[in-house]
Structure 1
Amino acid sequence: MAQARLASCVPLPVDHKTLVNVIEKAKDWALMHGVGMRDRKQFSKDAIQIAPFVLLPSPFPRTEFNKAVELQPILNELMHKVAHDDEFLQHTLQNALQVDEFTANLYDIWVKVRDEGISQPVSLGMLRSDIMLESRCPHTENQCAKHTPYCSWKQVEINSIASGFGHLGPVSREIQSYILRQLGHGDLIKHMPENRALSGLCGGIIEAYDMYGVPSAVVLFVVEEVSYNICDQRFHEFEISEKRPDIQIFRKTLNEIYEETDLNDKKQLVLDGRPVAVVYYRSGYEPAQYPSQREWDARLRVERSNAIKCPSIHYQLAGTKKVQQALAAPGVLEKFMGPGGATSRVRDIFAGLYSLDFDENGERAVEMALADAERFVLKPQREGGGNNIYGPEIRDALTRMRHSRERAAYILMERILPPLVQGYVVRPGAPVPPPISDLVSELGIFGVIIGSKEKILHNKQVGHMLRTKLADANEGGVAAGLGALDSPYLLDL
């Protein structure tokens, strides 16, 4: 079927003079409220530019949004159980470990700290479940209880490390609310759901800090050598400092952690003479962030400590693509969740996911992809955007590695075809006004979970974010410059 289409919340096109005026106002509003990033081409710590944003909020069905919000605590608990199942992680990752050095290094650290004896059984999970509406309904009108251009949303992935946009998600609603008021459509703001992601995520860090129970302790943010997405990171610090002025926050790279921290005889990670209560990773999710052995040694030191990690290394392993694919296999969800309605609800959100291991199922998946590459996405064990393979490149990649063990480090996923909506994308340095473009969106739902293998102490959904991209673009990461900030406009269909 053809790709479905949803209508913009405001009739388009907007009058040229009005459009130019409101964009100029919105760009200034963005710079003055932290809707910004550092320029990758002309980097300066003294300057930020606007982050790309969609002028008007994008339509999203209210029933599907509510379903995603309600399901997030269930997904939190599922990920928590997966992260604490050593046998499942080992079995699921065994083939990828032989060909993916990065995943193998993470796993080796996990084995070392597990065999030594885990110093801190409590983990902090700040997760983001990314979803897209599926506009290809497999049902006929008579089969579907409420036939619309889609049947439901499907999960793209769950992010377990550096799940960003806790600030940029909520502030997207604020800038689009400002724009709607300037356009004389302030009455539409009530259809944009409240978003407290920043408060909820920072509340998780604060709760973990209090669980650690050492008043002199500090919080450590692990960051890249160069942070382009600085506003999103800093606003987490500002929020914590405002709520809890007694909590001191340090920002350190893995290399600085190697040079400036120690483990004492209590297994405390000591920085500047004070124990670290919580380690929050905004880096450490891709190979380039470990350029030498020093970074790996720093990661091992953190994992050996009794600091509460977000994420602990087994949580990061639970967020890999191979685990995502394994969870979709028959009977696996039941192992973690038991039979019942919750299991069925989670299974319904999975897109088709296929292993590329060297067995009958893997060969069948390769044949499917070679026969109709446009139906699929080829995903490696990587986070951070820009890593997936699409279209004809899938055929090229699988032809090249069909008889190589390298293919076991990938999974094959059915491509989701979301509905289109027309809109304006405002980008730094681009001509004003931008053209009307066909757009597609990806919704991220944030969850916070704290607990040990034996007991979950805290579990809730805390907010959302929406990323939107041009309909003909494959990748949609805002930090990578491919997507744009957005927020949902809920429709009653």
Structure 2
Amino acid sequence: MSARLEPCVSIDFDSSALDEVVTKTKDWALMHGVCMRSRQNFSPDSINFAPFVLVPSTFPKKEFEKAIELQTLVNEMIYRIANNYEFLKTTLAITNTVDPFTAQLFKIYTTVQEEGVSQAIDLGLIRSDVMLGAEPEMPLSSFKLRQVEVNTIAAGFGWLGPSSGRLHRFVMQELGHGDKLQQLPENNALEALCGGMLKAWEIYNQPQAVILFIVEDITYNICDQRFHEFEIRKQNPNVRVVRRSLTQLGRGGAVLDAERKLIIDGQEVAVVYFRCGYAPDQYPSADGCEWDARLMIERSKAIKCPSISYHLAGTKKVQQVLAEPGFLERIFDNAEKVAKLRDVFTGLYSLDLNEEGDRAAEMAIENPEKYVLKPQREGGGNNVYGKEVAEVLKQLKDNPERASYILMDIIQPPLLRNWMIRPSTQPMLVDTLSELGIFGVIIGNSKEILHNSMGGHMLRTKIHTANEGGVAAGLGALDSPFLVDL
């Protein structure tokens, strides 16, 4: 039986009181940009409020502060991996033989390495996702952080994370709990992430250059992206943001000049920020024009966020290998740093076609409910849970494709009762569980780190029976942490 956290305030409302606060909060969300475009009834001219839980979720203050403190170490870990060609080559060798998407990314990586990198500076806007976990039947005080994954490309919710905190400040005041607002931590994610892009723009040192956002053909998470653009303009009115898809760029929308400057409509690009390009379906054209665009960007002098090396550093296979005994020591020569990072790792297992992989597969087939099967994909909706873990692994027996997955222990966070509010749906009182994301900003070259900071947070919450929790994918809800001492 899962442990339970107590709601931060009473959530027992009569129907009229619930209707009043929910209606008012929906309007607040719509009027303050806590919104997304609908996937069901898409129109470029309309938006819905983003799904949210009514009150903020109780979260242990000590573990939240640990996650905040840890983020600059996570940033440094990704920086060191991204600048270690041999580590990436060795770690992804088998994955590249069985996963065409990762192989294509790695092909771009090796091409640029062999040609010579045009831009030594990399910008990482990173999000480390963690959950609370403990052994069954253990007290709440025993729950501690467990790392789910590290996102190095399109790490979203720099706007929606802070705005959900503001929404919950409004709700708490409406419910008569304004005295508890100090337990909702400040969140400067938008300012920090956009500040990171502007630091990179300044390093590029071309006052007329623009920042390029790589976006989808249809952007559902539009507010999260646009508020980044607006915040950049707010922090520096002289910097212009342009938005293009990989398809547009690959069809002649950009060129490299003789000096390898990336040029769009006659404008030089200083920084490229990817909000797209992390999944195979985002490279749809038969002629491969999106891959051509990705290679062109990587060859250019523009500062990439992420560069192809940072993208590869965030793959699931890298995460699994780092969790093996002795591997973090290859990245850090500091035992204290290694211990802090390893303290949040959970069980991760290789599924390569060897004895080790066979043992892991057999372990999961016997107890599939204890594990999650993860492919080398980002963006939500890709993982395999429950009985399907055993079914997939049985189908992949002796199949090299098995090595394109990793196996991870299921994290069992405490449950929390809350009201789930979704567009065109009645409020639902449900058991939920949450995932905390901590943002980080890192800028550096292969020789030194120029900037390294924590950059705010976000909290996503889902119904406890749902396997995936991505809000943009329609599976979770916005939330914010309410910090308590357990």
SS of corresponding position for 2:120: coil
SS in structure 2 at match of 1:467: strand
Alignment of structure 1 residues 141-220 onto 2, 5 Å: 148-220=140-212
**Residues of 2 paired with 1:360 and 1:346: CA distance?**
28
1:258-337 matches, cutoff 5 A: 258=250, 259-292=252-285, 293-337=288-332
Residues 121, 452 of structure 1: 8 Å contact kept: yes
Q: 1:248 aligns with which of 240, 254, 263?
A: 240
Structure 1 residue matching 2:239: 3-state secondary structure = coil
Counterpart residue number, 1:407 = 402
Residue 361 of structure 1: how far off its partner (Å): 1.0
The answer to whether structure 1 residue 449 and structure 2 residue 448 are counterparts is no
Question: 474, 485, 488: which one pairs with 2:478?
Answer: 485
Whether the aligned pair in 2 keeps the contact of 1:5 and 1:149 (CA below 8 Å) is no
Q: Do the aligned partners of 2:5 and 2:140 also contact (CA within 8 Å) in 1?
A: no
Output the CA distance in 2 between the equivalents of 1:14 and 1:312.
Answer: 50
Question: Quick one: distance in 2 between partners of 1:57 and 1:183?
Answer: 12
Query: What does residue range 14-413 of structure 1 map to in structure 2 within 5 Å?
Result: 14-136=13-135, 148-258=140-250, 259-292=252-285, 293-413=288-408
Give the superposition deviation at 1:70: 0.3
Q: Secondary structure, in 3 states, of the residue corresponding to 2:270?
A: strand
CA gap of 1:263–1:300, structure 2 versus 1, over 3 A, is: same
Q: String of CA shifts for 1:92-150, please: whole Å, max 9, x gaps.
A: 11111011110000000000011000000110000000000003269x8xxxxxx6353
Cα displacement string for residues 12-57 of structure 1 (whole angstroms, at most 9, x for unaligned residues): 3123211110100000000011111001111111100010001100
Partner secondary structure for residue 40 of structure 2: coil
C-alpha distance in 2 between matches for 1:151 and 1:465: 19
Partners of 1:206 and 1:61 in 2: CA distance = 34
- Is the 2:49–2:423 Cα contact (8 Å) retained in structure 1? yes
CA distance in 1: counterparts of 2:433 and 2:106, whole angstroms: 36
Change over 3 Å in CA distance of 1:436–1:149 after alignment to 2:
farther
- TM-score, reference length from structure 1: 0.97
SS state at 2:238 partner? coil
- The CA deviation at 1:266 is 1.1
Which runs of no fewer than 5 residues in structure 1 stay unpaired? 141-146
CA distance in 2, matches of 1:298, 1:237: 22
Query: Offset of 1:284 from its aligned partner?
Result: 0.1
Deviates most, 235-244 or 255-264? 255-264
**Does structure 2 conserve the Cα–Cα contact (< 8 Å) formed by 1:180 and 1:189?**
yes
User: Alignment partner for residue 428 of structure 2, among 435, 439, 450?
Assistant: 435
Distance in 1, matches of 2:429 and 2:136, equals: 27
Amino acid at match of 2:228: H
Q: Give the one of 404, 412, 415 matched to 1:417.
A: 412
Identity across matched positions, percent:
53
Cα shift at 1:151: 3.2
SS at match of 1:424: strand
- 1:223 touches 1:254 (CA, 8 Å); kept in 2? yes
Q: Which amino acid aligns with 1:222?
A: I
Q: Which amino acid is 2:123 matched to?
A: L
DSSP 3-state at the match of 1:90: helix
C-alpha distance in 2 between matches for 1:260 and 1:483: 35
User: Secondary structure at 2:443's aligned position in 1?
Assistant: strand
DSSP-derived class of the 1:232 partner: helix
Q: In the alignment, is the contact (CA less than 8 A) between 1:441 and 1:469 conserved in 2?
A: yes
**RMSD in angstroms over aligned alpha carbons?**
1.0
Letter in 1 for 2:109: W
**One-letter identity of the residue aligned with 1:478:** V
Q: TM-score, normalised by structure 2?
A: 0.98
Runs of 4+ displaced beyond 3 Å: 147-151
Whether the aligned pair in 2 keeps the contact of 1:135 and 1:149 (CA below 8 Å) is no
Residue 140 of structure 2: SS of its match in structure 1? coil
- Contact 1:356–1:362 (CA<8 Å) still a contact in 2? yes
Write the deviation string for residues 278-327 of structure 1: whole angstroms up to 9, x where unpaired.
Answer: 00000000000001200000000000000000000010000000000000
- Tell me if the contact between 2:3 and 2:140 (Cα under 8 Å) persists in the aligned partners: no
Look up the SS of the partner of 1:461 in the other structure.
Answer: strand
- Find the residue that maps to 1:436 and give its secondary structure: strand
Distance in 2, matches of 1:338 and 1:463, equals 28
| Structure 1 residue 471 displacement after superposition | 0.5
Instruction: Report if the CA contact (8 A) 2:2-2:136 is conserved.
Output: no
Distance 2:142 2:29 in 1: 33
137 and 82 in structure 1: CA distance in 2 versus 1, 3 angstrom threshold = farther
In structure 1, how many angstroms separate the alpha carbons of the residues matched to 2:296 and 2:146?
A: 38
Instruction: Quote the Cα distance in structure 2 between the aligned partners of 1:149 and 1:401.
Output: 40
Equivalent pair of 2:152/2:314 in contact (CA under 8 Å)? yes
Give CA-to-partner distance per residue, 1:421-477, whole Å, 9 cap, x none: 00001100002xx23110000000000000001010000001000000000100000
Q: Do the aligned residues in 2 keep the contact of 1:137 with 1:150 (CA within 8 Å)?
A: no
Decide whether the 8 Å contact of 1:424 with 1:437 is kept in 2.
yes
How many residue pairs get aligned? The number is 483
The letter of the residue matching 2:72 is P
Query: Partners of 1:39 and 1:367 in 2: how far apart?
Result: 41
